[in-house]
Amino acid sequence: MGGVAITAKYVIYATIEIDGIVDKSDVIGALFGQTEGLLGDKLDLRELQKAGRIGRVQVVLEEKGNKSVGHIEIPSNLDRVETALVAAAIETVDKVGPYDAKITVTKIEDVREEKRKRIIERAKELLAKWREALPDTREITEEILKAVREAQLIAYGPEKLPAGPDVDKSDTIIIVEGRADVINLLRHDYRNVIAIEGASVPKTIVNLCKEKTAIAFVDGDRGGELVLRQLIQVADIDYVARAPPGKEVEELTGKELAKCLRDKVPLSEYLATIERGQPSAHSHAETPMRNKLPQDVLKEAEKLIGSLEALIYDENWKLLTRIPVKDLANYLQSSQEAVSYVLFDGVITQRLVEIAEAKGVKMLIGGRVGNVTHRPATLEVLTFSDLGL
């Protein structure tokens, strides 16, 4: 499926791993075939490509042992929401030919970013030559200054972490979750900021926390709580700051940023609040369904996150086996044991739901739910977030 050349606004990047040797054409065929009808005719990949809204799908594969691994690039001229929907749709593809497959979208890149960089660089040149600011140009000047501050973003340490230029100079650092958070803080002249930018805390962050006063500044949602929990386990954090409930650091105004950082609390006070079981100003009202699992199983479920493994239990919550997620469907289809509960670090697909139903599984718990249109009454489908993890 070649497609036409388009002037793309975005590019979807994804990795793919297949439990067998296949060709590029097999991967492209699976992408178009298994996503057909998922999002309706308007967002059907074939129709989008015919209309020039989706460009040529690029697939690069290499053989590793008896597997095929590689990456996928899909240019998009859709808007941001539609592009994100297409990206989510391709992650539901779980077969290439006769082999199990796993597709993971790693990023969606705005290809117009280079143009923005050139505009900012040119604006800086003009600003350097034009020193005289007229009263009616004050607002424009401030916008250019914000762009200049944003351009001060650097790649720090061996992990190339997004950071401000004063991380080394300052005695205090502000640790945020991602690149967009760093950019927002830079726009408001916070230059001693650095991002974790990933699923685990980088060694560079851990080392910086040993040398400097560290403020952890995270989003005001469940994700922010999880990042903070992980951070304080491995790094020497001094203070905790949170965005308002439901808000992200990247979207805060200058006034909101200043208030959050001003209201930071010592780590000891934050931990004491948790130990007393008192909800903080940023905690959620929802009640996690942790009582559905025995405590020892719940602890194992916590460890499961990020492992790409599955835990199989019988009706008494006795562990039958631990296997890689890629082998889960085959195990359920071929196992002679009575399986009642399945926990796995992956996406719950319609195919997996149907296999679990046929096997008599009572509860299926995964990292997130994919495009599941039918949920059997006999099977309870949950995610880790439903359990408060």
Give residue-wise pLDDT tens across range 273-294.
Answer: 765 544 444 443 344 457 568 8
**CA 198 – CA 179 distance, rounded (Å):** 10
**CA 123 – CA 139 distance, rounded (Å):** 14
Q: Please give the pLDDT value at position 242.
A: 92
| Two structure tokens written together for 313 | 């239990």
Three-class secondary structure assignment of 256-293: HHHHHHHCCEEHHHHHHHHHCCCCCCCCCCCCCCHHHC
Contact 183, 153 (CB under 8 A): yes
**CA 284 – CA 48 distance, rounded (Å):** 40
Mean pLDDT by 10 residues, the chain (389 residues): 64 94 92 88 87 90 93 92 92 93 93 81 80 56 64 88 92 92 89 88 93 92 85 90 90 91 88 58 46 82 87 93 92 91 91 91 88 80 81
Q: pTM value?
A: 0.39
Q: Which domains are delineated in the chain?
A: 10-110 (3.30.70.3250), 152-275 (3.40.1360.10), 290-387 (3.40.140.20)
Beta strand pairing status for 58-64 and 67-76? antiparallel
Q: Please give the pLDDT value at position 6.
A: 64
Termini Cα distance of the chain: 41
